[in-house]
């Protein structure tokens, strides 16, 4: 079974530029998560989708971040414009359901460096 796929793995951009990350979850997983992991910290949730609906985006900085999950499968996370403080690893995860106790399977992440 294929795992969670993310691309690109690495991205270096200048501040004020836009950037987008793509995630393909495990087949059949209804719930998709985007986390941000700062250096030396644990991941923090940005947004959670159940199918195509964003059910929790309370921690997503909506002035510059946007996300979508068309057809309830793949998802894209966008930052526009990027700031220096956005440098982090962006992790996508998926789970079968959103019951809180379900195992979340993580992708390899996209390491973003904003210069």
CA-closest candidate to residue 105, choices 30, 13, 52, 20: 30
**Residue found by looking up tokens 């690495």 in the block:** 10
What character string, x for contact with other proteins (CB under 8 A) and - otherwise, covers 1-30? --x---------------------------
| Separation between Cα atoms, residue 50 and residue 99, nearest integer Å | 11
| Separation between Cα atoms, residue 16 and residue 98, nearest integer Å | 34
What character string, x for contact with other proteins (CB under 8 A) and - otherwise, covers 61-90? ----------------------------x-
The only residue of 33, 49, 67, 88 in contact with other proteins, by rule CB under 8 A: 33
**Contact region for other proteins (CB under 8 A) — 11-19, 20-28, 36-44, 75-83?**
36-44
| Separation between Cα atoms, residue 33 and residue 59, nearest integer Å | 12
The residue ranges that bind other proteins (CB under 8 A) are: 3, 33, 40-45, 48, 56, 58, 89, 91, 93, 98-101, 103-109, 111
């Amino acid at each position: 079974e294929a795992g969670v796929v993310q691309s690109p793995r690495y991205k270096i951009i200048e501040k004020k530029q836009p950037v987008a990350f793509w995630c393909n979850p495990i087949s059949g997983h209804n719930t998709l998560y985007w986390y941000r992991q700062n250096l030396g910290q644990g991941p923090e949730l940005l947004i959670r989708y159940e199918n195509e609906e964003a059910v929790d985006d309370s921690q997503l900085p909506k002035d510059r971040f946007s996300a979508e999950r068309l057809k309830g499968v793949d998802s894209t996370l966008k930052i526009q414009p990027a700031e220096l403080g956005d440098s982090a690893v962006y992790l996508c995860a998926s789970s079968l359901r959103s019951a809180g106790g379900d195992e979340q399977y993580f992708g390899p992440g996209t390491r973003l460096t904003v210069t």
